Structure 1
Amino acid sequence: MNLRDKLSNGTRLMPGVDLRSAAGRRYRYLVTEYSNELGTELTEPEKALVRQVSSLQLRIEQLQGRLVQGEDVDADQIIRLASEHRQRNCEKRRGHRFRAIL
């Protein structure tokens, strides 16, 4: 089984990354939840979009956690990431609704 197959069937979400860490487990959870929201048999572009949305969500959560702990965080970065996350999430939902209509 090659890397593309492993990515496609979900056994390797991120090559070279140990997904057993706290961040890795959270990423896997987000991918699963966003995928479940869209339903079964996602297309490859939908899977890629789910991974992007999950990565953005994880990064936003990490930055928010640092902010709550009193660390200096670039507020502009959080705003940019949140905006990008919202756009990608809307794309994910629009694409799914469009496919459902067909």
Structure 2
Amino acid sequence: MKLMSRNIKFNTHPGEIISKQIIKPNKLSIDKTAKLLGVTRPTLSKIVNGKSAISPLMAIRISKVFGGSANLWIRLQAAYDLREAEKEFEDKQIKLDKYQQNCW
């Protein structure tokens, strides 16, 4: 069974979006942005560098400080995670058969 390809060449972590759409255009530092969000610098740095996921709590923080919807950040993270899982599934060449329910 082959997974349906979504033809996505690059899988952008939402932390990169925070960096490019919020931090850089507003000339903020990681330190200043972390303070605005009420988190530590290492916490934000891990997210911006794609090492940590955006949690629901972080999504709410981003929406409260910078506007927009927390739901958007959760959807971006879920889409990123799903694409990573699809890559891993394909790389591991996992073979599964579709379950066929017996009809009586």
Q: Name the TM tier (shorter chain).
A: 0.3 to 0.5
Q: Structure 2 length normalisation: TM-score?
A: 0.36
Q: Structure 1 length normalisation: TM-score?
A: 0.36
Looking at CA atoms only, which structure, 1 or 2, has the larger radius of gyration?
A: 2
* Higher RCO (CA < 8 A, seq sep 6+): 2
